[in-house]
Structure 1
Amino acid sequence: MDPYERRCRLLMCAHPPRFRESRGEELLSTLLDLQEPGQIRLSLRESFDVICGGLAVRLRDRPPLWRWLLYRTLFVRLPPKYRMWARDDIHRRFYIFRRYYGPLGTIAYAAGLVIVIFFDEEPFRALGITLGLGLGYLMRSIGAQKVRRRELARYGFGPDGSPIRPRPDEEHSR
């Protein structure tokens, strides 16, 4: 991979993952067709256009603020219109952290940190480390993949994020 293609792929990260999956190669081939002989990077204008296009796609597919707040704070299911955005959100790196460490995990970590900082005696320090790190780790590792699979199923996706085909008996009921 030459430096020009590498920079094009880096700029394409401004687009959401589902766009890169479906149209990423098309965008990349268009950018490679624009390359002039000896050119090692896109022009400032082309870079700006790729980034602005990606941000526009991200903002267009995002749920309204009030739905987003309900989804993030109370874990309310989003309407089907935003199911692809929800899939991308569930696959993000910090989804499990938000889901698990929302209320209880944050309290455990904060309590552990307070105990470690303010109490110098050994039993309290050990309790803080155990509470903050141990409980927080257990909460994350015990059911992280289970939660991710369950949430993807709520929106009609398989564990890998691919759409689940409806069963034959469900097709007629629609």
Structure 2
Amino acid sequence: MTVDPRFERSVHRWLRAYPRRWRRERAAEVTALLADLAGPDATRLSAGTVVGLVRAGWATRLRTRPPLRHVLAYRLIDRRVPAPYRGWVSDDIEGEGSPLRVLLNVAVVVAVVSVLLPLAIGDRPHTLSGGSLSAVFAMSLGFLLRGSRVRRARGRKHLVPEAGEELTSETLLFGWVLRDRLTARGTTGLLIVGLATAALAALAACLAAPTALGAASCGHSCVATVSAGRDGVPVPLTVALVSAVALGGLAGLHARATLRRLVPLRPVQHSRRLVAPTPRHRAIVLVLTAGAVGIAWIEGTGRVDLFFSVAVAVAVLLALPALVVAWRVARTGPDDLAFVDVWSIVSTGRLPRVDAVEEGLVPALLATD
């Protein structure tokens, strides 16, 4: 029986109430069963089925979650949890909620330093300065950029069984797995949204920023920042932006010709698995875009001299046309096109290399065969 794609998306959306490991093992079976029960014309789940799935999913999460003392020890001092809860740890390391926890941890640190500590000593909450905001931005981005190497290290510590530990069907060991590559279509679309937002903010800052900043005395031990309005856009800035637009257009034409010539000639990738951008990738783009918008706001309102917004605007205007071309090629091109293929072809003008398998976690019974 062929399942309507709309019905399948509806099932997958509500199955997210279940743990990731449960969905990985049973999602296809449950989808087929629900499709049989709903009938061939169903395009989405009924309200009663949705309520039942969500209730059962959260019950499964609570039932398979470690006791609070183990969760706190794992979160606070990075201690291993008992073997029966290794599946929960695997979901925590590889799951979609990891970026959100990173940003929440940063928010908690900021709240403690800027609000709770001043209140504890009888002071007023502190307003974050530019340096503090930069530190928060760098800390968030640094945590999010920790890639597969860090996840493998955490997997070795928390998931691989210790010597003498009995192997079960849920035990994981390190073995050779297919290399994950981001899809070209989803990744280029995500980058276009982020870069376009950053470009609009940077261009607004370039047009609205005051032309001069200075300091003036406002009394004893008082210095005020003074900004002067600007009459029109400076000629050097106009030349830089127009040149970036022209060069970006030429880069887009070159990228289109190169992609059309080399995409059909790509080597077959047997050791690759295409995946859509994960929440971690979306969070990275979100943090970078928020940083660019924040810098544009600071410079556009005259708090600091205009510099970074010009660099961001020029860089985005140079890169955005080629990225749009890559997105169009990915949208109409082969389904197995990865973002790394597009990047390799556009940046080097050569065919991408053949991927090799990489080390990853696999079920113990499979890893020992």
Q: After TM superposition, is the score higher than 0.5? A: yes
**Cα drift, residue 69 of structure 1:** 1.6
Higher share of residues assigned helix: 1
What's the counterpart of residue 134 of structure 1? 138
Are the structure 2 counterparts of residues 7 and 164 from structure 1 closer, same or farther at C-alpha, using a change threshold of 3 Å? same
What is the aligned counterpart of 2:47 among 38, 44, 47?
Answer: 44
Q: Assess if the C-alpha contact under 8 Å between 1:15 and 1:55 holds in 2.
A: yes
**Does 2:109 match 1:106?**
yes
Question: Contact between 1:11 and 1:51, CA under 8 Å: does it hold in 2?
Answer: yes
Partner residue in 1 for 2:66: 63
Identity of aligned residues (%): 26
Q: Is the 8 A contact 1:8 1:28 kept in 2?
A: yes
Pairing 1:72–2:272 present: no
How many Å apart are 1:165 and its aligned residue? 6.1
Q: Distance in 1 between matches of 2:27 and 2:133?
A: 45
Q: What is the CA distance between 1:49 and its match in structure 2?
A: 1.9
Q: What residue in structure 1 maps to residue 17 of structure 2?
A: 14
Is the CA contact (8 Å cut-off) linking 1:62 and 1:85 kept in structure 2?
A: yes
Structure 2 unaligned runs (5+)? 115-125, 161-171, 175-358
Matched, 1:53 2:56: yes
Q: After TM superposition, give the deviation of residue 26 of structure 1 in Å.
A: 0.8
TM superposition score normalised by structure 1? 0.69
Deviations, residues 39-86 of structure 1 (Å, cap 9, x unaligned): 333333222222222122211110011211221222211011100110
- Determine the C-alpha separation between the residues in 1 that align with 2:42 and 2:367: 52
Normalised TM-score (structure 2): 0.36
Quote the Cα distance in structure 1 between the aligned partners of 2:137 and 2:49.
46
Task: Tell me: CA distance 1:96–1:77, structure 2 relative to 1, closer, same or farther (3 Å).
Answer: farther
Q: Does 1:25 align with 2:67?
A: no
The answer as to 2:288 corresponding to 1:88 is: no
The 5 Å alignment of 1:107-126 reads: 114-116=127-129, 125=130
Output the CA distance in 1 between the equivalents of 2:17 and 2:367.
Answer: 36
| CA-CA distance at 1:33 after TM superposition | 0.5
Match of residue 145, structure 1, among 148, 152, 158: 148
**Aligned counterparts of 1:131 and 1:86: Cα–Cα separation in 2:** 29
Match runs of 1:135-174 below 5 Å: 135-138=139-142, 140-141=144-145, 143-154=146-157, 155-156=159-160, 157=172, 158=174, 160-163=360-363
Number of residue pairs the alignment of both structures matches: 156
Deviations 1:92-111 (A, max 9, x none): 345367579858x936x957
Q: Identify the range of structure 1 (69-78 vs 1-10) with the bigger mean alpha-carbon deviation.
A: 1-10
Higher strand proportion:
2
- My pick for the range that moved more, 68-77 or 82-91, is 68-77
What is the rounded CA distance, in whole Å, between the counterparts of 2:40 and 2:366 in structure 1? Answer: 50
Work out the CA distance in 2 between the residues paired with 1:139 and 1:55.
Answer: 28
Aligned alpha-carbon RMSD (Å): 3.5
Residue type at the aligned position of 1:48: V
